[in-house]
Every structure is written in C-alpha cells, then in structure tokens.
Structure 1
Amino acid sequence: MSDKPSVLFVCVHNAGRSQMAAGWLTHLAGDRIQVRSAGSAPAESINPAAIAAMREVGIDITAEQPKVLTVEAVEASDVVITMGCGDACPIFPGKRYEDWKLEDPAGQGIDAVRPIRDEIHARIEKLIKELT
C-alpha cells in the first residue's frame, strides 16, 4: 500500500451499499484514504432511501452517481470490498479483498435501510483503524 491507501467499494448497482460505504469512509477518514465506488451493473441513480438514511447522520451523498466497475479502478485500489457483486469483480494479486455480507437496500424503505447504514458504519470504523 502507498502512503495513502485506497479503497474501492463494489456492489451490483452502486446505488446503495457501496455508496453509503464510500460516504462513511470519506466522512470519517477525510483525505487520509482515497475512496472509490463502482458497480458491476450500475443503476441510473442513487437509492433515495440510502440518500435519506445518510442525510440523517449528516452525510450528503446526493452528488454521487453510480459508476461502472473497471479493471483500472481495481488496479488502482489497495483494498477492494465487495458487497454482493459475485464473480463480476476482477481479482489481481497483491490486493486485499473483503466480501461484506450486507442486506441489499434496493426497493426498501428507510426503516430497513437504517440498520444497513449502521452496520456499514461499524465496518468502516474498523477498516479505518486497520488502514491508518
């Protein structure tokens, strides 16, 4: 890893879990960690319930857009965290890979998204301690 580690969050639509994770990591780590997110089949827009759940904790992810997963994004990242993208994520030697089993917030209301947001928060705090 370089002096400034980089983390890539990947889920299928890059509209919920990976966007919330990127929002938490950016918010909590500031410029100490480079943050990316992408999806194997990106949605048109961010999940409104994810936006609302993050807004409740003071994090604004409304400016984000789902992005397609590229080989370049994986190559440029030290840590790749998948959240249900299956085999779509390319594997490169020397990268740290984690698969976070998280419920998919797609199509769910804010009451169902809050616990997902909070679980991601706890995992992000642990990740920051490991990387800094």
Structure 2
Amino acid sequence: MITPEVLFVCVHNAGRSQMAAALLDHHAAGRVTVRSAGSAPAESINPAVVEVIAELGLDLSREFPKPLTTEAVHAADVVVTMGCGDACPVFPGKRYLDWQLDDPAGQDADAVRRIRDEIDRRVRALLAELLPG
C-alpha cells in the first residue's frame, strides 16, 4: 500500500498548519506522510499553539515554520490550504481542500483551543477518507 502524503499550508506556518500536521501525524500513527509549510513563514511557532497542542500530549517545541516549495506541493496527494490565498501553487491532478479557519495569531488560549478542536475534527474526517476501514 502506498502511504498518502498530506501538505498543510497557511501563510506563516506558525499556527493552523502546524496544529493540523501535528494532529494528523498523531492520529495516523505513521500511516500518512505529513508536512506543513507557509507562503510567508514566521520566525517561530505561536506560543499559544504550542501550549494548546501540549495539552493533548503533542510536542511542537522542536518544530519551526517552513517555506512552501513547489516540490512539497508536487509530492503531496492532498494539499490543505488555510488562508494562503493565491500564494499556493496549483498542480493538475492534486486534491486541494481549503479549510476556512480563524487565525490563532493574537488570540488567547481559549480561542486557540476552539481552533485546535475544529482542526482536529477536520483532520479525523480527512484521515477516515484517506484510510477507510
């Protein structure tokens, strides 16, 4: 069986895409290759994002924002965009999903938890599609 590859993309790769990648990687348990990137990467991951992901036992402390590359998009089976607009390259034959989610930047921990929980719901649904049964 070929391992599906998912790329999560947002502008700064400091919040939504990092949470989505951590959650999918956790739930997939090695059955999906997961990457994240940003069209304009920030210097570091949002501390509130690190905090609320840690509440689930997941560690983002060693992660960092990564730039979006054409190669990463080309390698992915599914590209999930989260507010990067026209900065995301589009390749024919790829599956694209656009998740409209609030940006955790500048939000308090309670707001970031709500965003995390919505991302988790969507990640679980995506995983069920990628790996049915």
TM-score bracket, shorter-length normalisation: over 0.9
Quote how far apart the aligned CAs of 1:123 are.
0.3
Quote how far apart the aligned CAs of 1:108 are.
1.1
AA partner of residue 13 (structure 2): N
Q: Deviations over 1:58-96 (max 9, x none)?
A: 111111110000000000000000000000000001100
Give the Cα–Cα distance (whole angstroms) in 1 for the partners of residues 21 and 60 of structure 2: 9
Using the aligned pairs only, state the percent identity.
66
Alignment partner, residue 37 of structure 2: 38
Alignment partner, residue 11 of structure 2: 12
Alignment partner, residue 66 of structure 1: 65
Quote how far apart the aligned CAs of 1:113 are.
0.2
Alignment partner, residue 53 of structure 2: 54
Give the Cα–Cα distance (whole angstroms) in 2 for the partners of residues 31 and 73 of structure 1: 18
Structure 2 counterpart SS, 1:3: coil
Gaps in structure 2 of 5+ consecutive residues: none
Q: Give structure 1 regions of 4+ aligned residues with deviation exceeding 3 angstroms.
A: none
Alignment partner, residue 25 of structure 2: 26
The alignment yields a C-alpha RMSD, in angstroms, of: 0.8
The two structures have a TM-score, normalised by structure 2, of 0.97
Structure 1 counterpart SS, 2:57: coil
Quote how far apart the aligned CAs of 1:107 are.
1.2
Alignment partner, residue 94 of structure 1: 93
Give the Cα–Cα distance (whole angstroms) in 2 for the partners of residues 55 and 105 of structure 1: 15
Q: Deviations over 1:38-61 (max 9, x none)?
A: 000000000000000001111111
AA partner of residue 46 (structure 1): I
AA partner of residue 35 (structure 2): R
Between Structure 1 and Structure 2, how many residues are aligned? 131
Alignment partner, residue 84 of structure 1: 83
Quote how far apart the aligned CAs of 1:3 are.
1.0
Gaps in structure 1 of 5+ consecutive residues: none
